[in-house]
Amino acid sequence: MRKGVQLILAVACCLLLNTAGWAWAGSIVGVVKPQGLRSPEGILVYVAKAPAGPTDGSQAKFIMDQTQLAFIPHILPVLVDSKVEFPNNDKVAHNVFSLSRAKKFNLGSYQPGEAKTVQFDQPGVVDLRCDVHQEMNAYILVLNNPYFALTDKEGRFTIPDQSYLGAHDVKDVPPLSPGKYLVKTWHEKLKTAKKKIEISAAGDTTIVFKPKRGAPGVLYK
């Protein structure tokens, strides 16, 4: 019994040290204060250039729901090679399509209760529409590394967002190693804001973005 407790404590200590080690190695925390948005929630903050890691997007599971004549969520960041399921949980048929360069597809009209899946193999912005309902619109942001986060209601974010990644079966994302990075924002109604930062081994790096109203740029040049 005593040995069992010791083992659990040892594992817990290792986990704690491991998590703390990520923070030391460089979590990016900060806040986005946008101009011209009703709420600072749902703005993507991402590391534009990051070292290629072992993360495999093809195992990740993402869902873009269709209910009450809307796509939910409105902005869905995914990893390149991820598969996104499009269930129709509405009362009427929908027809999801995209004309975006990052992924062109047309799922055709399908009935409530059915679901279709698309794999996103190129990074970029995918503008989703429904052929039946003009007002339905959402964005899938295909990212080439897991170092991104969506802002919360107060505009705060932490990169990498382990809870978001974990919820979509993206596990074992290592912390960013010390070095220089370019961090950018994306929102459909905001000009892209970017900042160069340097992550040190000492701890978190804090950034404040103040993006202005306007059209965003592409995710990656």
Sites for another protein among residues 17-36 (CB under 8 A): 35-36
- 72-81 burial: b if 16+ Cβ within 10 Å, else e: ebebbbbbbb
Q: Position of tokens 């796509």?
A: 71
For residue 210, the minimal CB distance to another protein (Å) is: 11
| By CB under 8 A, residue 135 contacts another protein | yes
Q: Position of tokens 């970017």?
A: 194
- AA identity, residue 187: H
Look at residue 38 and give its three-state secondary structure. coil
- C-beta of 59 vs 109, nearer to another protein: 109
| By CB under 8 A, residue 210 contacts another protein | no
| By CB under 8 A, residue 93 contacts another protein | no
| Span interacting with another protein, options 1-9, 67-75, 118-126, 177-185, rule CB under 8 A | 67-75
| By CB under 8 A, residue 38 contacts another protein | yes
Contact 77, 71 (CB under 8 A): no
Six-digit token pair at 182?
A: 């370019």
| By CB under 8 A, residue 212 contacts another protein | yes
| Span interacting with another protein, options 1-9, 62-70, 78-86, 159-167, rule CB under 8 A | 62-70
**Which helix (H) or strand (E) is 200 found in, with range?**
none
- Interacting residue ranges for another protein, rule: CB under 8 A: 35-39, 68-70, 74, 91, 135, 189, 212-213
